[in-house]
Structure 1
Amino acid sequence: MERRKFLIQTGAATALLSATPGLNLFAGTKKSRKITILHTNDVHSHIEPFPAEDPSFANQGGVARRLTLIQNIRKENPNTLVLDAGDIFQGTPYFNFYGGELEFKLMSMMGYDAATIGNHDFDNGVGGLAAQMPNASFKMISSNYDFTNTVMEGLTKPYEIFIKDGIKIGVFGLGIQLQGLVTEALSKETKYLDPLEITQDMTRILKEEHKCDLIICLSHLGYEYKFDKISDLSLAAKSRNIDLIIGGHTHTFLPKPEIVTNLDQKNVLVNQVGWAGINVGRIDFEFDATGNKSSTATVIQV
């Protein structure tokens, strides 16, 4: 497994990830704490590695290797979250035959903690997605799809809070506009809610009401567009309190996270690791004894 590491422990990056002023996370202790975030996006039902003759990704990827990687990192740091930014379904005959059952069962076996919904996760309709939800032991987080009056109603959460080694981590999820990508016959009465407005609500709830130390957005909006469409980069610039955006949809291979300045002139990490499960992103957030946090980012080739 090839690792490309991006160290962002410069003064600027530490400032970007600094804790809320006046908040001492570790009063009375000198111990630093490390949270590891592992993430994928747009795996598209790639269960097996690419074949040896593939011109682009020969022998790369595969669930078995990803499982080993996740297990080894969790042994190294039990305070690890494994997250996915959507488009779990569609792309190989495994989805055509099993309809997403295998994907959800394998993600559960690998110990994923949460995922959000991509447009291709509607490819068997809201009914097909709902039918597979019992196979998912992880949380399905969708903040801006309103599933009222569909069979998906009640099967997702707008956000989830995880606590690792005393660190409170808030996670919310955003999906792309369905119109033009998913037919009404598949999405039924699913309503798409404005991602920026929802982000304002989610970050307020997570930061102000729940006092989260770290806020992560699972985004299937896409990394960047040349036209006026909400993307990970524009969301980061127009929002507050997000520490990390884990992106999907555009299959963007980033060698390191992009750093974007938000409305409060604080920096946000934006990351995406391609597609098909050939890479896993790793970001380690370290909280020191005074409550400041810094991070190290790695792209791991599976």
Structure 2
Amino acid sequence: MRRRDFLTNTVAASTLVGLGGLGLSSCSNLGGKHITILHTNDVHSHIDPFPSSHSRYANLGGVARRASLVENIRNENPNTLLFDAGDIFQGTPYFNFYGGELEFKLMSKLKYDASTIGNHDFDNGVDGLLAQVPHATFELLSANYDFSNTVMDGFVKPFKIYSVDGIKIGVYGLGIALDGLVTKRLYKETVYLDPMEIALDMERKLKEEEQCDLIVCLSHLGYDYENPERPCDTRLAQNTYHTNLIIGGHTHTFLDKPDVRINKNGDSVLVNQVGAYGINLGRIDFYFDAKKNASAQGVSITV
């Protein structure tokens, strides 16, 4: 969907899913609260739009266009959060020259709220990642990477809680196994923990201890794999209890709208991923009634 079309007609091309038995029209009539979540993944240092000569993505993407789109949506709904699902680095000469500084600075200007860490974010090692942390005003979230014995210790949080218009939103991050994707000398003593087990711990804490109304996972595990034992977003959705939205990355999967999976409680979970290279921006709108029951609709917008 082109952004111009989206701004004039969001409902027509989106999915409406009841997460608490409440429909969109009911929310509107009750004057329910409206939270918008925007997201990207696998931007891979693509700062500029693709050239007009590109065979697949001519004139698409670019940080400036994304900034304008995000600003328009925030003007429409000030209760908006912006997230990224990792692989911010690597893919253009901007990374080769600036080492990630430009990417983090621009994300900060766009006022990203948080990002998880992808495997390519280790391409200059944990030391290179640490060097760029001062340029980030957003949180780095990863619950299953243990950085205790590295220079990144203390600079990455397992989760973050956002309070938006009286709605508590808990966000946690998960990363893919680094062995085989990243050389040991780059990630050094970073310890990879089972993301499926960690997800259950995180969502329990956010739901039961922190009393969050909405729980979001920023995942760099990948959307789906043939191997049923390999951790991925679809499997995560089906094997958790309280996570409402999984924002994915790594597999560069272009979804027009969120996939809907059923969790262990029999509730709907939204799984979304918007391809790669900053071509699309994901938008998920959550509507809450007076009892904080929620419904949601989502769409991917071409930048």
- Shorter-chain TM band: over 0.9
Deviation at 1:190, TM superposition (A): 0.2
The C-alpha deviation readout for 1:214-247, integer Å capped at 9, x for no partner, is 0000000000011131100001111110000000
C-alpha distance in 2, partners of 1:290/1:181? 45
4+ long deviations beyond 6 Å:
none
Give the equivalent residue in structure 2 for 1:71. Answer: 71
Structure 2 unmatched runs, 5+: 23-29
C-alpha distance in 2, partners of 1:151/1:18? 46
Q: Does 1:191 align with 2:191?
A: yes
The TM-score normalised by the length of structure 1 is 0.93
Structure 1 unmatched runs, 5+: 20-29
The C-alpha deviation readout for 1:38-88, integer Å capped at 9, x for no partner, is 000000000000000000000000000011111111111110000000000
The C-alpha deviation readout for 1:242-272, integer Å capped at 9, x for no partner, is 0000000000001111111111111100000
C-alpha distance in 1, partners of 2:102/2:183? 24
Give the equivalent residue in structure 2 for 1:293. Answer: 294
Give the equivalent residue in structure 1 for 2:174. Answer: 174
SS at 2:202 equivalent: helix
Give the equivalent residue in structure 1 for 2:130. Answer: 130
Give the equivalent residue in structure 1 for 2:150. Answer: 150
8 A Cα contact 2:258 2:299, kept in partner? no
8 A Cα contact 2:221 2:231, kept in partner? yes
8 A Cα contact 1:6 1:296, kept in partner? no
Deviation at 1:149, TM superposition (A): 1.4
C-alpha distance in 2, partners of 1:59/1:7? 24
Q: Indicate the larger mover: 81-90 or 257-266.
A: 257-266
SS at 2:38 equivalent: strand
SS at 2:61 equivalent: coil
Give the equivalent residue in structure 2 for 1:237. Answer: 238
8 A Cα contact 2:81 2:113, kept in partner? yes
8 A Cα contact 2:50 2:60, kept in partner? yes
C-alpha distance in 1, partners of 2:14/2:44? 30
SS at 2:56 equivalent: coil
C-alpha distance in 1, partners of 2:14/2:274? 17
Deviation at 1:292, TM superposition (A): 1.9
Change (3 A) 1:166 1:80: same
8 A Cα contact 2:139 2:156, kept in partner? yes
Give the equivalent residue in structure 1 for 2:54. Answer: 54
Change (3 A) 1:148 1:84: same
Give the equivalent residue in structure 1 for 2:26. Answer: none
C-alpha distance in 1, partners of 2:202/2:94? 35
Count residues with an aligned counterpart. Answer: 289
Deviation at 1:18, TM superposition (A): 5.0
C-alpha distance in 1, partners of 2:54/2:289? 45
The TM-score normalised by the length of structure 2 is 0.93
C-alpha distance in 1, partners of 2:272/2:115? 15
8 A Cα contact 1:7 1:295, kept in partner? no
C-alpha distance in 2, partners of 1:244/1:7? 15
C-alpha distance in 2, partners of 1:64/1:280? 13
8 A Cα contact 2:213 2:292, kept in partner? no
The percent identity for this pair of structures is: 62
The C-alpha deviation readout for 1:144-202, integer Å capped at 9, x for no partner, is 00001101000010000001100000000000000100111000000000001101110
Amino acid at match of 1:286: Y
Q: Paired residue for 2:15, among 4, 8, 17?
A: 8
Q: Does 1:263 align with 2:236?
A: no
Deviation at 1:290, TM superposition (A): 3.5
Deviation at 1:7, TM superposition (A): 3.6
SS at 1:201 equivalent: helix
Deviation at 1:299, TM superposition (A): 1.1
C-alpha distance in 2, partners of 1:131/1:290? 45
C-alpha distance in 1, partners of 2:224/2:20? 23
Cα RMSD of the aligned pairs, angstroms, is 1.5
C-alpha distance in 1, partners of 2:20/2:60? 33
